[in-house]
Amino acid sequence: MLKCCLFVMLMFICLFMLRSVETFVDRQRQNCSDEKTLCILCIGDSITQGYYGLNGIFYPYTMALRSALTRRYPDVYVRIFTRGRGGDMVHGKMRERLERELSREKFDLVIIMAGINDLIKLTLKNNEDLFEKLIDLHTLALDQGALRTVAMTLLPSQPGADKLKFITEDVFEVMRERTNTQIRSINSTDTSVCDTEQCFPPLLPGSYYWQPDHVHPSPLGYNILGRCVFSCLVGEVEFLLDIKQLNQILGIV
């Protein structure tokens, strides 16, 4: 009798595991055009990458973002493509990387958070067009088929005088604030603003939300950043799902 019960339990476990694997495979096969699949590209530098001081170990905010979106929309399969690269700049390889990602997939939403490295590494003169370069990334994403884009303001940052190449700490902060003011001024039906600077905890000495370098969030901070982005996306996601459903009805891929 005991052997029979164990056999039945084993069969149920095997069936459950098989169903789980089938579900996983089915979801992996879902493409971004499916009305119940939400494809989000998050591109940026080491903050998007989730750097927190340990070599080869990252904790991107997109983990908390995906978790929150999945809880909010249980019937939607959320695919998030995290494409952060340490040290990358808007003036650097970011446009090239964005083009490459857009050629591989048609994203519903593209989230761009970048600019801190430009302020750290480039000259004051070259940074005069930072906002225009950011807008160019959003235009590229929309032209390549993204339904919407989100511009994120730059988090507080104190990289220190030893890391700044050609500008002082005071000039760095002035330019960061100026860039954020420009980002907040975006008035577009296709690009919305997520004011992560206002949502995120301030940069204070000894804060649990920041790493000692005063540039990158801690793992706890990345969780908060993910929830900040989620709060910005609720209306966006519902709009996108409506658009995708309409496209399915009209036969638009």
Q: pLDDT for 105-126, tens place per residue? A: 999 999 999 999 999 987 655 5
What value does the mean pLDDT take over residues 39-51?
A: 97
* 67 — pLDDT class (breaks 50, 70, 90): very high
Residues in the chain: 253
Q: How does strand 37-44 pair with strand 191-194?
A: unpaired
Res 28: pLDDT: 47
Question: 145: phi > 0 → left, psi -120 to 50 → alpha, else beta; which?
Answer: left
Tell me the percentage of the chain whose pLDDT exceeds 70. Answer: 83
Res 36: pLDDT: 86
Res 242: pLDDT: 82
Cα(200)–Cα(41) distance, rounded to whole angstroms? 21
Residue 29 has pLDDT above 60, yes or no: no
On average, the pLDDT of the chain sits at 85
What value does the mean pLDDT take over residues 74-79?
A: 94
**Sheet with 191-194: strands ordered across:** 77-84, 37-44, 109-113, 148-152, 191-194
Residue 244 has pLDDT above 90, yes or no: no
Asked whether 108 and 147 are in contact (CB, 8 A), the reply is yes
Cα(26)–Cα(30) distance, rounded to whole angstroms? 6
Question: 241: phi > 0 → left, psi -120 to 50 → alpha, else beta; which?
Answer: alpha
Q: Model's pTM, two decimal places?
A: 0.84
Domain ranges (residues) in the chain: 34-250
Res 15: pLDDT: 31
**DSSP characters over 201-244:** PP--TT-TTB-TTSSSB-HHHHHHHHHHHHHHHHHHHHHHHHHH
* 20 — pLDDT class (breaks 50, 70, 90): very low
Q: Which of 199, 225, 228, 237 is nearest to 60 (CA)?
A: 225
* 13 — pLDDT class (breaks 50, 70, 90): very low
Res 25: pLDDT: 37
pLDDT digits (tens, 9 = 90+) for 164-199: 878 889 989 999 999 999 999 999 999 999 999 999
The CATH homologous superfamily to which domain 34-250 belongs is SGNH hydrolase (3.40.50.1110)
Under DSSP, is residue 92 helix (H, G, I), strand (E, B) or coil?
A: coil
What token pair was written down for 71? 């809880």
What token pair was written down for 166? 């050609």
